[in-house]
Amino acid sequence: MNRNRKAFLDMIAWSEGTSTSPATKCDGYDVIVTGADKIPEVFTDFRTHPFAMGRKSKVINSKGLTSNAAGRYQFMLRDYAHYTKLLKLESFRGGAFGPEAQDIRALQLIRECKALPDIDEGRIESAIRKVARIWASFPGANYNQHENAVSKLLDAYTRSGGTFGKAE
């Protein structure tokens, strides 16, 4: 993985709050969406999505909105089976929801938004716009949740070693 892609993934994790969660023991790969109770929670079994075995979604606000987002990039359960099959992650080393598998899933979502060339060429604002609908914390996502400003995302990207030119 080139440094721009790695920095972009780190930026997503920072924005989603997983890599900075006080509960994480695995750089955010183990984080479950924080509920309305504001208690951070993690999982330890990376064989599958933590909600895949029937666990109920968490209530995340006072209006009763629920979520089952989990992992470094806060993947929703509704997408889990599709991407596990598409990317052939069923018996993946480290588990179908392990850190490497989560990175592969995130890169696939970015690829589907046609943002990988932008990341590789250092056009990060363009990439952010293209993937904004995927991550609730991105500007313009419109999920009625906190959205980070582009300037904050760019700061996180550069702190992680990303560049604004062609990645090496």
- Between CA 105 and CA 10 the distance in angstroms is 14
Give the number of C-alpha atoms closer than 13 A to the C-alpha of residue 15, restricted to the C-beta side: 32
Query: What does DSSP assign to residue 75?
Result: B
Sorted by sequence, the CB contacts under 8 Å of residue 159 that are 6+ apart come out as none
CA distances from 37 to 19, 136, 143 (A): 20, 19, 19
What is the C-alpha to C-alpha distance for residues 168 and 163, in angstroms, rounded to an integer?
10
Q: How far apart, in whole angstroms, are the C-alpha atoms of residue 60 and residue 67?
A: 7
Residue of 16, 112, 121, 168 marked active site: 16
Contact between 111 and 5 under an 8 Å Cβ cutoff? The reply is: no
Residue 112 known to be catalytic:
no
Q: Distance between CA 11 and CA 26 in Å, rounded?
A: 16
Residues noted as catalytic: 16
